[in-house]
Amino acid sequence: MYAIVDIAGQQFKVEKDQKLYVHRLEVEEGKKVSFDKVLLIDTGSKVSVGDPVVKGATIDAKIISHMKADKVLVFKKKRRKGYQKLNGHRQYMTQIQIEGILEKGAASKQTAAKKEEAPVAKAAAKKAPAKTTAAKKPAVKASAEKKEAVAKKPAAKKPAAKKPAAKKAAPKKESGDKAE
């Protein structure tokens, strides 16, 4: 039996008693955690595929330790330019051990709670559209009135453009005057 589960933004294929490393989880070492974003469960005889998740399915796990992954070196170089850059990075990780894959076990309590909330939600949903349609009509009228008011305003008059002053021509000197 195996399952495909989304843990901290990554998808993993998990089996019972399997140890794996995931991105850092904010849970203390030794504590138990459960993941409900189960995308697929294969029991050997039956495959359940989620839409997008399998309803009621959970994966139970135990936090073993927190650590850093191996260092990843990032080296950048531009040849013939004298540019080199070396960066290192160590990702924070959490080691977990899968303790169990529950297909529908945890769903019974959750679905009972959802069924109790469902009539209240349906009643509220029926009342809500009547209020929203009544509230939308005045808003539409108000926006139409604003558009009409903007259309009725006369265009603002622009000040008259100033005419450039005519330049007076300087008296020309005759070339003969210099000789005298």
How do residues 72-109 score in pLDDT, each as one tens digit?
999 999 999 999 999 999 999 999 999 999 987 544 44
- Same-domain pairing of 133 and 56: no
**Is pLDDT above 90 for 158?**
no
**Is pLDDT above 70 for 154?**
no
- Is 168 within a domain? no
- Is 154 within a domain? no
User: Which has the closest alpha carbon to 22: 34, 7, 6, 33?
Assistant: 7
- Is 161 within a domain? no
Q: Which amino acid is at 139?
A: A
- Same-domain pairing of 24 and 77: yes
Q: Which of 112-116, 135-139, 165-169 has the highest mean pLDDT?
A: 165-169
pLDDT digits (tens, 9 = 90+) for 2-16: 999 999 999 999 999
- Same-domain pairing of 51 and 134: no
94's enclosing H/E stretch is strand 92-102
- Same-domain pairing of 97 and 116: no
- Same-domain pairing of 116 and 28: no
- Same-domain pairing of 114 and 73: no
**Is pLDDT above 70 for 153?**
no
Q: Which of 69-73, 144-148, 158-162 has the highest mean pLDDT?
A: 69-73
- Same-domain pairing of 35 and 114: no
- Same-domain pairing of 115 and 32: no
- Same-domain pairing of 78 and 15: yes
- Same-domain pairing of 16 and 51: yes
CA atoms within 13 A on the CB side of 85: 6
Residues 6 or more apart whose CB falls under 8 angstroms from that of 27 comprise 33, 63, 94
Mapping DSSP to helix (H, G, I), strand (E, B) and coil, where does residue 127 land?
A: helix
Domains contained in the chain, number: 2
Cα angle 65, 68, 74 (rounded to 5 degrees) comes to 160
Q: What is the pLDDT of residue 81?
A: 97
> What are the C-alpha distances in Å from 86 to residues 4, 47, 99?
37, 47, 41
User: Which has the closest alpha carbon to 101: 62, 63, 57?
Assistant: 57
The CA distance from 61 to 180, in Å, is: 114
CB 25 within 8 A of CB 97: no
- Same-domain pairing of 117 and 38: no
Backbone angles phi, psi at 25, to 5 degrees: -105, 140
pTM value? 0.54
User: Which has the closest alpha carbon to 46: 57, 62, 31, 35?
Assistant: 57
Mark which of 53, 81, 105 sits at the end of a domain. 105
**Is pLDDT above 50 for 113?**
no
- Same-domain pairing of 49 and 19: yes
Domain that holds residue 129: 109-141
Residues 6 or more apart whose CB falls under 8 angstroms from that of 128 comprise none
For 175, which DSSP code?
G
